[in-house]
Amino acid sequence: MGGPGAVGTAGGDADELRVRRLLGRGLRVRLYLVLVYLSSPIDLVPDLVPDVVPVIGYADDAVIVAFVLRSVVRRADPGALRRYRPGSLGGLAAVHRLAGVPPPAV
């Protein structure tokens, strides 16, 4: 019987606690900051720049996301990435190759 503040009373709570422990505060902060940046109307290069190639405005978003994900993949526990990332193992291996880290053994 769990009351307010009870930890691990549901499967989701236990999973979240494991992810927090395995990823660490610094990695979670990076992920939250990139989400805030992407949702913010303030941008390094405005997304809708008139008379310029329209892709340039979105390119800065893609570069920032790539750098943050590369940083997270390089520093995170490989077991946590394998367990909590949705998708195939082939996709995870591609993410590791793009981050410059060897894919973990299956």
How far is Cα 20 from Cα 46, in angstroms, rounded to an integer?
34
For residue range 66-100, list pLDDT tens digits in order. 899 888 888 887 777 777 777 888 888 888 888 88
Q: Note if the pTM is more than 0.75.
A: no
- Is residue 77 a contact partner of residue 27, using CB atoms and an 8 Å limit? no
How far is Cα 99 from Cα 95, in angstroms, rounded to an integer?
6
For residue range 17-66, list pLDDT tens digits in order. 666 676 788 888 888 899 998 888 777 776 666 666 667 777 788 888 88
Nearest to 73, CA basis, from 91, 49, 55, 53 = 91
